[in-house]
Chains A and B, each alone.
Chain A
Amino acid sequence: MTDTNTTNPATQTNLSPVAKFLRATELDTRLLGMFGALALIWLGFHYYGVIFNDFGAFLTARNLWNLSVQTSSIGIMATGMVLVIITRNIDLSVGALVGVTGMTMGILQVDILPQYLGLGNPFIWIITVIFGITVGATIGAFHGWLIAYRGIPAFIVTLGGLLVWRGSAFLANGGKTISPVDSTFQLLGGGPYGAVGETGSWIVGIIACLGILWLTVAGRRNRVQHDFKLRPMWAEVFVSGAAMAMVIGAVLLVNSYPWPIGIVKQYTAANGITTDPATLVISHGFAIPVLILAGVGIMMTILMTKTRFGRYVFAIGGNPEAAALAGINVKWMTMRIFALMGALAGLAGVVASARLNSATNALGVLDELYVIAAAVIGGTSLAGGVGTIYGAILGALVMQSLQTGMVLIGFDTSVQQIVVGSVLVLAVYLDNLYRNRAK
């Protein structure tokens, strides 16, 4: 928690300009550190490509757009893992949950629903998504029940869950892959059609900017109302301006990635457009899974910072005994947190299977580790009590950037694993240093 009100004025005068800047803007140094790390990774991979492969593939609209899509499913789950880890638990089963929800949704939308509703019925995807999220939430709630009411450690319950649900996903369809999935459902995974286009992206961007402005004004008004110290005006302008610049930058980026010529030809043929496909430039815009991630991120941030539920998550993490003595039903909270984690894994299953346009046994394998790594790199403390949603999403972006970057410059899978593993350990070590210094 940042702090400006309590500072002794005597100490404020001899601060360095950087410290003064941080104090005035109330920016989280950890957040800045994450942006720094991300910039380093992106530039590093890009210029490695420029120097050794004669082509920097990383900082291209195409790669960054793909990166955003690939981050989505891990990012969605990482927001839930934050809650699990804050309350001093762990969930190793999320990857297997992606597998089992993806597989059961595949069976439902391909083998079952078309029989009753007819192929391509617009309700198929809606029913399938609700079903997938419900299956995830139910399994998560069951794990939570075993943990909270039967006293089995979360590590064991979810380790067992990892095996059980992975095996169940295999058995559900005898190990066979289901493909293709419903054509509307498929859009939830991105791709040229699964994006909102140029105009849509500008609308999203403008709404986001208005949201930032509203938050700034409302925050300032709230401080005035309660007579708290205000941020200097330049700091307000700087922070909100930087945030809006990032939003607009993202819009320009996704709009500068045009559809491939093949898709344009297909599209013009299907819609009877007579313009020459070679001259037609159609932008992707934001991919739908990215917007899902953004929506989940906003909802989860509100949940964690503005509701009693979120407050209790932090309290349980800080001191479970105190939370219970304050009248919080810790067991029920634990069960609900795992149910929420399961629901998010179900949603990630939607995005992952839609992106692949198929439900396979391997869907979500090792995801649990990337999700946990994303949350931890994003500043969630394994000791409990500390963590942020935006940190976890940025953590997911860092993990995915490493992964994508190494693929682009042609590292072997084995090398990728070594790097990702080392980065995780290093990140936690740096975090320890940071916390010790902060104390």
Chain B
Amino acid sequence: MTDTQKTPLVALKDMSISFGGIKAVDHVSIDLHAGEVVGLLGHNGAGKSTLIKCLSGAYQADHGEIYVEGKKVKIENPRDARAQNIETIYQTLALADNLNASANLFLGRELTNRFGMVDEGKMEAETRKIMARLNPNFRKFHEPVSALSGGQRQSVAIARAVYFNAKVLIMDEPTAALGPQETEMVSELIQELKAQGIGIFLIEHDIHNVMKLCDRAAVMKNGQMVGVVDVADVTDDDILSMIILGKNPKKAA
């Protein structure tokens, strides 16, 4: 499915980061193409989230290079990542609980009027527009997000990534806190975004979601990359055994 000849949208090369002597990510390389969903799998502590945080700017890798559309870039903080149109939806959602939906959506990138003042009305109007698309039932525009349900909070977090025309979207367990209906909503959204040519890194524990949504699956264990497989070529058992045994079935074969 993926055309490996084309320049990848994002390429992480030989990334390493350690915390207090423990190698959380150990010489890992991975790439992502436009319109592709790459699942990142592995046990808790395998290094998935850490690897992805190096790309989103939350951590700085000790070693390794990041290429965006073939060009080497430096990502030292979340602003750098955003400047490259790399948007992240964190597992913890990373919303400021005391602010309302539009304040969170535009956090760090507020719309301002000609006097340089924050344009509350315009931001709310824009929020209403995007939420009408993502979650038409959303009504709580004035409450602080602490008053929202898990699904509503998730839709705010997703709206934030979508609104700013992400080229690369990182989703860290986007459905972990959601009910079945809301999970379905997120799945549809991922497919829609993929069709728009956005590349998505999806950290996911649910193997069925991986089989359904991802084009490729990358499995990590103890900070190392076990292997990357095309989902179409393998069964869910193959992937599970990679996660558990830490061995790439193709290499073994």
Contacts and interface: CB of A to CB of B under 8 A. Distances in A.
B121 A223 contact: yes
B125 A3 contact: no
Interface of A: 1-6, 222-223, 225-228, 302, 305-308, 310-312, 314-315, 317-319, 321-329, 385-386
Contacts of B143: 1, 3, 6
Main DSSP-derived SS at the B contact region: loop
Given A324-B78, A325-B88, A327-B77, A222 B96 contact: no
Contacts of A2: 142
A306 B95 contact: no
A1 B27 CA distance: 48
Interface string B135-172: 00001111110000000000000000000000000000
Contact of B107 (A223, A228, A310, A315): A315
Contact of A385 (B57, B98, B110, B116): B98
B117 interface: yes
Contacts of B108: 312, 323, 326-328
Contact of B96 (A5, A225, A318): A318
A326 B92 contact: no
B112 interface: yes
B244 interface: no
B189 interface: no
A325 B144 CA distance: 19
Interface of B: 56-58, 77-79, 82, 88, 90, 92-100, 103, 107-110, 112, 116-118, 121-122, 124-125, 139-144
A374 B242 CA distance: 61
B141 A323 contact: no
Contact of B78 (A3, A311, A312, A327): A327
Contacts, number: 97
A1 B90 CA distance: 26
B142 A322 contact: no
Most A-side CB within 10 Å, residue of B82, B95, B112, B122: B95
B165 to A, nearest CB: 16
A325 B78 contact: yes
B27 to A, nearest CB: 26
Contact of A3 (B93, B121, B142): B142
Nearest to B56: A325
Given A226-B124, A307-B117, A327-B108, A322 B82 contact: no
Contacts of A4: 142
A307 B95 contact: no
Given A225-B121, A322-B95, 19 more contacts: A1-B143, A1-B144, A228-B124, A307-B116, A308-B110, A311-B107, A314-B99, A315-B103, A317-B98, A318-B97, A321-B92, A324-B58, A325-B58, A325-B78, A326-B107, A327-B57, A327-B78, A329-B77, A386-B98
A324 B100 CA distance: 18
Given A3-B142, A226-B121, A308-B110, A327 B96 contact: no
A-B pairs, 8 with minimum CB distance: A318-B96, A318-B98, A385-B98, A326-B108, A327-B79, A3-B142, A322-B94, A327-B108
A321 B96 CA distance: 9
Contact of A308 (B93, B112, B144): B112
A1 B92 CA distance: 24
Contacts of B99: 311, 314-315, 318
A311 B77 contact: no
Contacts of A326: 78, 94, 107-108
A32 to B, nearest CB: 20
Contacts of B117: 302, 306-307
Nearest to A324: B78
Nearest to A316: B96
Contacts of B112: 308
A263 to B, nearest CB: 43
A319 B95 contact: yes
Contacts of B98: 314, 317-319, 385-386
A318 B144 CA distance: 10
A315 B141 CA distance: 17
A6 B140 contact: yes
A324 B108 CA distance: 9
A148 to B, nearest CB: 15
A28 B103 CA distance: 20
